[in-house]
Amino acid sequence: MDDIHFEQINRIDAQDKACGTTQYMSDLSFPGMLYAWFVRSKYPHALVRSIDVSRAMALDGVVTVLTAADVTGFNGFGIVDPDMPVICGDKVRYMGDTVALVAATTERIAEQAAALVDVDYEVLPVVDDPVEALKPDAPKVHDKGNVCLHTLITKGDVEQGFREADVVIEHEYRTPRQAHTPLETESGVAVPEADGSLSMYAGSQYAFRDQLQLARILGMNPRMIHVTSNPVGGGFGGKDELTIQGGIALLAMKTGKPVKAFLSREESMVSGWKRHPFIVRMRTGFKSDGTMLANDVVCYEDKGAYTSLGGPVLNLALEHASSLYRVPNTRHEGWAVFTNNGVCGAFRGFGVPQVLFALESNIDEAAEKLGLDPVTIRRKNVLHQGEVSPIGHTLRTSVSMDLVLDAIEKSNLWQHREEYKKTDKPWLRRGVALALAPQGAGLGLGIPDYGGAYIDLDRDGNFTLRIGLVEYGQGTHTGFTQMAAGLLRVDPSRVRIVAGQTEGSVDAGPATASRSMYTASNAIAAAFRNLGVKVIDALDAKYHTGLDAVCEAKESGMTTPMGFRTYEELAQEFAQESPLRGEGYFVWPTADREIPGAAGLPHWIYSFAAQAALVEVNTLTGETHLLRVTTALDTGHTVNQQQVEGQIDGGVAQGEGFALFEDTLIAKGQVRTKNFSTYIIPTAQDVPEHEYIILENPEGTSALGVRGIGEVVMVPVIPAVALAIHDATGVWVRQLPATPERVYRLLHPMMDE
Amino acid sequence: MIKELEYHIARDLKGALELAEQFGPRKRFLSGGTDVTVRLKEGLVKEDVIVDLSRVAELRFVREESGVVHVGACATHADLSASPIVRRHGRALAMAASQVGGPQIRNMGTVGGNVANASPAGDTIPALIVLDAVVSIASRSGTREVPIIDFFTGPGRSVLAAEELVTEFHFPATGPGELTGFGKLGSRQAMTISTANVAFTFRIGGDRRIVEARIAFGSVGPTVIRVHKTEQLFCQLPPLLSWDAIRSAAQMAWKEVAPIDDLRATAVYRKEAACGLLAEAAYEALASCWHER
Ligand SMILES: Cc1cc2nc3c(=O)[nH]c(=O)nc-3n(C[C@H](O)[C@H](O)[C@H](O)COP(=O)(O)OP(=O)(O)OC[C@H]3O[C@@H](n4cnc5c(N)ncnc54)[C@H](O)[C@@H]3O)c2cc1C
């Protein structure tokens, strides 16, 4: 299938989104619809002694008020461990915890009623520092203690490695609590149906898992719950876990009316998932020629109040703590620690940006000490296919570390960096740095990772592609359409897509972990092959043409045992029967052996990118402007160039936000940055000039050679920015975001004296 | 949740003044609404009547008359940034207005609202101060003029009485030999409240020395402030472009500003950065002026 041609089309959803006609779940309304209000906790950590809803119930227009006792099924949710109550009964653990749910005829009444719910709390001490929280006498967030997960992965003998090292670099790094900030906050409508079933319309990253979690909460057969979660107004990982769905489902089932919730930005910032802040202590040993000998890493992950995906995030971080460099001796240890600092979960990059900021910084510092340039030291250490990773598994699939490194070295920015660094203002300094990243894709070993797709030949000779994976902005549905059209050899306009709903599309796993395009490439290819089989079967049943033929797609049709037939002809041929459906299923390849002590590791398929950044630092104010970024990215096989560039643009902006601006500040459990006047994300004025270098080293396990790129495009830019600040000014940035004041303090350490 | 309000739209100045008198302290003016609506949403507006000034066309103008620039209270930031008059004869104001928020905010937000709001971070305020602007205030019972430096009585507070409104600002047109500029430090390059801002006017003598300096800082005290000692030091700068000399004169501002810690920055950093901001903005202006000659 190497000759497959992907027609370069505009996004299939571009016009509707640009014109505002796209119906997001938050746009929906239904007759008789009620409005939900989540009564949130008043304290970050407290026992709930009692709740009195009588004043709220008495308000005109209030239809119901629910407390924990009203949860009909299991009162908890969570992808890994369902330890987050839908409604807290006895204890609250963060400011976003729900203590009661209101449904009323208007949003205003619902909000007013929420203020009338009387809760008697017994305030507990706030746990707000993950390192302190590990001490034996620290107050406990959960009865089970504050350790959500502890992982230790070792290979070789780090102490021996350090003894042989000529240079050892050791530092502590800190990373921000980044918010996903999708344009569409958590929202949706739950609709009770006449047959006793429930329809859930809420943008999320995995309708089929939502269905199971909702079934558990409601105590209902999952078949009675229909979830539509597509399209989504932005996700970035923040809608992987359930958000408002449990609450509105309970309210809808209780009242028998459709119930809608649409969180304000402020409520979203307080209650929503965030990126886990990490403290990374990293000690790395090098030989004088730059060869890496040992890496000893301890990560403290601020989990926030509930588990969600905190364990897998920690483990993916530990898997990448020595990147894909040839490090013979490693010790990667991590603690995911419960605190009352909001809740953290999945976020694009999934732990990798946190550790690579530390690692790439240690590498550049070693290079500087050893008089090596940043490319040379990395080239010396990058791994190739067939070698053993720093956590001990053999890399069997394609590895492009050297490919992206070579490309970034040859880039315009890197080659001409001395010219780019010139400035005539006495107070400005410019710097250029680079970094590279692998990003393990897919769900990892031991977690069923599969994808299904159907290709229906419709009666009119066009096609319907059914696949679970949602579109939340990445452009994947355009890519799926191109892949199906390319295989079928039809114009992409002849493929319609039905996705992200438990009725009418097929489970293809979550739209996370850089897995959508890769999964779809295999599921769609399998469905395409199966369609050919179905055609043979159908012709044989009707004309006894035999079963041992293979259909081949040719321009707008297929070769069959009866000669070439256009798709219209085939559709007409079988118009009386049910439409021809190609069913494709695919299971991700995985390693055959788990990394001991580390659930989910290793990952098997990787994304690769290298990025170089040009920054300008104002030494008078500490302001840092990111002027230019070059990305060298391996797509495996580019399906849609425009969408790849779009992912780079967005990824760079999100990486820039992590590096320079974004942090959800929480003091004593209270969020201080509740909206966009204080939670700072880059604007159009802040984003850099881009240069794209798209490389294609096909991933052999994809039928179409593609690999995911959605996450990796935001990763190397983060260390690259921090290291470019060093190149500009000589100071090492160890805590992100590098806000003006932080950079200024590094430049002027004596300021307070 | 925004509370329920009574909403009156003024059609002209006379109507606005009548409404102001009628509702007195119960009313809040709304011009572009870019401050008021945010406060309404946060539940920080105690008044329950809104008097909308946005359609009072006679308050939206920029003109120059016999060496004096007049700017109507309802002129938007976009108006000011685009106005050839303001760009030529009050450049600091054009620069400040062009750095307010983003395009949407500049299209709606007005200079009258920026000043009447009396935030110590308001970007046009230091510019108006170094241009020696005077505020024209009107009520049903007459008009009065207040030099802008005397207009503010504290953060969010001014000399305006309940029945009064701001009609315009006027200042002497800057001429050749006068340099004026503005600089701003924020958390990013657009849509950002100033962590510190600065505006200045320098009158340059024949010998290229600064003979008169007015420098005002915002966001480093309870109101926007002038820094007189620093101004004097700028008047002693040597008649050649010296970064070191400018930098050290600007450093005097450290002693004259009195910022506080907040979410955006600590006080000590604000002091340092404010000095840097002045040095940078002054150097840029002096360099361009001396290159021209
Ligand atoms: C996203 C965003 C970004 C912003 N960025 C900046 C920035 O970079 N720099 C900056 O300085 N400000 C900024 N602001 C604040 C605001 O936009 C400005 O202060 C603007 O100039 C206010 O003008 P307005 O016409 O919208 O005022 P309004 O909101 O209409 O009014 C503000 C106050 O002034 C009073 N008022 C208005 N007109 C008169 C009058 N003629 N007489 C008497 N009282 C009057 C009102 O009663 C009210 O109390 C920003 C605001 C937002 C929402």
* pLDDT of A662 higher than 60: yes
Q: How far is CA A6 from CA A391, A455, A706, A748, in A?
A: 37, 17, 12, 54
A100/A245 same-domain check: yes
Residue B1 included in any domain? no
Domain stops at, among A255, A271, A287 = A271
* Residues in chain B within 8 Å Cβ distance of A672: 263
pLDDT at A753 exceeding the cut of 60: no
Please tell me the predicted confidence (pLDDT) of residue A575. 82
* Nearest CA-CA distance, residue B22 and chain A, Å: 30
Note whether A238 and A293 are same-domain residues.
no
Distance between CA atoms of A66 and A110, rounded to whole angstroms? 12
CA A729 to chain centre: 33
CB A91 within 8 A of CB A306: no
Which secondary-structure segment (H or E) carries B200? Answer: strand B196-204
Judged on CB neighbours under 10 Å (0-12, 13-18, 19+), B2 is exposed
- Backbone φ and ψ of B197, nearest 5°: -140, 165
Residue A272 has a CB neighbour count (10 Å cut-off) of: 25
Chosen from B269, B275, B284, B288 to mutate, greatest number of chain A CBs within 10 A: B269
- Measuring from atom 18 of ligand 1, which residue has the nearest CA? B114
**What's the mean pLDDT in A199-205?**
98
Same domain for B21 and B123, yes or no, is no
* pLDDT value at residue B292: 58
The dihedrals phi and psi of A434, each to the nearest 5 degrees, come to -135, 165
Last residue of a domain, one of A537, A555, A587: A587
Considering only A270-274, A365-369, A576-580, A678-682, which range has the smallest mean pLDDT? Answer: A576-580
How sure is the predictor about B64, in pLDDT bands with cuts at 50, 70 and 90? very high
Would an 8 Å CB–CB cutoff place A156 in contact with chain B? no
Q: Is residue A164 part of a domain?
A: no
Q: Is residue B265 part of a domain?
A: yes
Q: Are residues A605 and A712 in the same domain?
A: yes
Q: Nearest C-alpha to atom 2 of ligand 1 is from which residue? A: B101
Helix residue ranges, H only, A567-640 = 567-573
Q: Chain B within 8 Å of A625 (Cβ-Cβ)? A: yes
**Whether residue B67 has pLDDT greater than 60:** yes
pLDDT score, position A578: 75
> What token pair was written down for A557?
């049709």
Distance CA A516, CA A451 (A): 9
The reply to whether A109 and A241 lie within a common domain is yes
Residue B83 lies in a domain: yes
Q: Does A216 touch chain B (CB under 8 A)?
A: no
CA of B169 to the centre of ligand 1 (A): 15
B268: nearest CB among A661, A676, A752: A752
Query: Residue A722 half-sphere exposure, CB side, CA atoms within 13 Å?
Result: 33
Check which CATH number belongs to the domain holding A225 and give it: 3.90.1170.50
3-state secondary structure of A17: helix
Which residue is associated with the tokens 């809040």? B28
In a domain, B158, yes or no: yes
**Distance (Å) from the alpha carbon of A453 to chain B's nearest alpha carbon:** 44
Peptide bond connecting A312 to the previous residue in cis, omega within 30 degrees of 0 = no
CATH of the domain at B32: 3.30.43
One domain, residues A577 and A692: no
* pLDDT value at B52 more than 90: yes
Residues B143, B204, single domain; the answer is no
Q: Are residues B135 and B236 in the same domain?
A: no
Q: Which residue type does A549 have?
A: A
Q: Is the CB of B191 under 6 A from ligand 1?
A: yes
- Contact present, A320 and A379 (Cβ < 8 Å): no
Closest partner CB to B268 (pick from A678, A685, A751): A751
* B273·A685 Cβ contact <8 A: no
Nearest to A558 by CA among A597, A530, A593: A530
Choosing from B45, B49, B95, B117 the residue with most ligand 1 atoms within 8 A of its CB, the one to mutate for a pocket test is B117
Q: What is the predicted pLDDT for the residue at A752? A: 66
B166: Cβ below 6 Å to ligand 1?
Answer: yes
Q: Can you tell me the mean pLDDT for B218-246?
A: 95
CATH of the domain at A458: 3.30.365.10
Q: Do B243 and A111 touch (CB under 8 A)?
A: no
| Nearest alpha carbon to residue A606 among A403, A331, A470, A361 | A403
Q: Are residues B22 and B87 in the same domain?
A: no
Q: How far apart are CA A23 and CA A157, in angstroms?
A: 57
Mutating to test ligand 1, I would choose from B19, B37, B114, B264 the residue with most ligand atoms within 8 A of its C-beta, which is B114
Q: What is the DSSP letter of A661?
A: I
Which residues numbered 124-183 in B keep a CB inside 8 Å of some CB on A? none
pTM (predicted TM-score)? 0.97
Asked if the model's pLDDT at residue A331 lies above 80, the reply is: yes
Domain boundary among A241, A271, A301: A271
Same domain, A402 and A296: yes
3-state class percentages of chain A: helix first, strand second, coil last, to nearest 5: 30, 25, 45
* DSSP codes of every residue in B49-69: EEEE-TT-GGG--EEEETTEE
> In the listed set B172, B203, B231, which residue is the last one of a domain according to the structure?
B172
Per the CB < 8 Å rule, is A686 touching B185?
A: no
- A265 and A287: one domain? no
Q: Is the CB of B276 under 6 A from ligand 1?
A: no
What's the pLDDT at B58? 97
Least confident of A249-253, A613-617, B88-92, B173-177: B173-177
| DSSP string covering A322-387 | TTTB--SEEEEEEEEEE-SS-EE---TTTTHHHHHHHHHHHHHHHHHHHT--HHHHHHHHB--TTS
Q: How far away, in angstroms, is B33 Cα from ligand 1 center?
A: 6
Domain boundary among B122, B149, B172: B172
Residue A750 binned pLDDT confidence (cut-offs 50, 70, 90): confident
pLDDT at A379 over 60: yes
The mean pLDDT of A52-68, rounded to a whole number, is 98
Q: Would you place residue A577 in the very low, low, confident or very high pLDDT band (cuts 50, 70, 90)?
A: confident
| SS3 (DSSP) at A131 | coil
Paired tokens of A715: 């990763």
Confirm or reject: Cβ of B109 under 6 Å from ligand 1. yes
Rounded Cα gap, residues A389 and A324, in angstroms: 6
Q: Identify whether residues A607 and A582 lie together within a single domain.
A: no
What CATH number did the domain enclosing B256 receive?
3.30.390.50
Cross-strand pairs, A584: A453
| Residue A153, domain member (yes or no) | no
Phi, psi of A505 (to 5 degrees): -130, 170
Look at chain A and report how many structural domains it folds into: 3
Of A363, A383, A382, A358, whose CA–CA distance to A373 is shortest?
A: A363
Burial class (CB in 10 A: 0-12, 13-18, 19+), B8: middle
Together in a domain, A621 and A712 = yes
On whether both A497 and A566 belong to a single domain, the answer is yes
Average pLDDT, chain A: 97
Mean pLDDT of chain B: 95
Across A500-508, average pLDDT: 96
List the strands of the sheet with B196-204, edge to edge.
B178-185, B196-204, B210-218, B225-226
Angle at A464 between CA A462 and CA A468, to 5 degrees: 165
> What would the pLDDT profile of A416-465 be if each residue is shown by its tens digit?
999 999 999 999 999 999 999 999 999 999 999 999 999 999 999 999 99
Residue A405: which domain range?
274-444+593-747
* A675: contact with B, CB 8 A cutoff: no
The ipTM (two decimal places) reads 0.95
The reply to whether ligand 1 has any atom less than 6 angstroms from the CB of B38 is yes
Q: Please check whether residue A142 lies inside any domain of the structure.
A: no
Nearest to residue A525, comparing CAs of A578, A443, A451?
Answer: A451
Same domain, A202 and A332: no
Cβ of A680 under 8 Å from any chain B Cβ? Answer: yes
Identify whether residues B153 and B216 lie together within a single domain: no
Contact A621, A635 (CB under 8 A): no
Does residue A18 fall inside a structural domain?
no
3-state DSSP call for residue A570?
Answer: helix
- What percent of chain B has pLDDT above 90? 94
Please report the residues numbered 187 through 206 in chain B whose beta carbons come closer than 8 angstroms to any beta carbon of chain A: 187-193, 195
Residue A752 contacts B, CB cutoff 8 Å: yes
Contacts for A458 with CB less than 8 Å, ≥ 6 apart: A464, A496, A571, A579
- Which domain covers residue B42, as residue numbers? 6-52
Say whether both B73 and B86 belong to one domain.
Answer: yes
Work out the average pLDDT over A276-304: 98
Q: How far is the CA of A680 from the centre of ligand 1 (A)?
A: 20
Are both B243 and B197 inside the same structural domain? yes
Q: How many domains does chain B have?
A: 3
- A266 is written with which tokens? 């402020």
Distance CA A557, CA A553 (A): 6
Q: Does any ligand 1 atom lie closer than 6 A to the CB of residue B86?
A: no
- The residues, any chain, with a CB within 8 Å of residue A215's CB and separated by 6 or more, are A73, A221, A222, A224, A225
Percent of chain A at pLDDT exceeding 70: 99
pLDDT of A314 reads 98
Separation of alpha carbons B10 and B29, rounded Å: 10
Q: Is residue B208 part of a domain?
A: yes
Per residue, the 3-state secondary structure of B227-291, as one string, reads CHHHHHHHHCCCCCCCHHHHHHHHHHHHHCCCCCCCCCCCHHHHHHHHHHHHHHHHHHHHHHHHH
- Assess whether B167 and B189 both reside in one domain: no
Helix axes A310-319, A352-370, angle to 10 degrees: 20
Q: Is the bond into A231 cis (omega within 30 degrees of 0)? A: yes
| A569 and A691 co-located in one domain | no
B116 Cβ closer than 6 Å to some ligand 1 atom: yes
3-class DSSP assignment, residue A176: coil
Q: Same structural domain for residues B228 and B282? A: yes
CA dihedral A531, A536, A541, A544 (to 10 degrees): 170
Are the beta carbons of A427 and B185 separated by less than 8 Å?
no
Q: Which of B172, B207, B239 is the last residue of a domain?
A: B172
Distance in angstroms between the alpha carbons of the first and the last residue of chain B: 58
Strand partners, A225: A198
Considering the domain architecture, whether residues B117 and B207 belong to the same structural domain is answered as: no
Say yes or no: B131 and B219 in one domain.
Answer: no
pLDDT per position as a tens digit, A523-559: 999 999 999 999 999 999 999 999 999 999 999 999 9
Q: Is residue A161 part of a domain?
A: no
Any domain includes A674: yes
Q: What is the DSSP string of A515-536?
A: -HHHHHHHHHHHHHHHHHHHHH
Same domain as B237, residue B140: no
- Contact: B188, A111; criterion CB under 8 Å: no
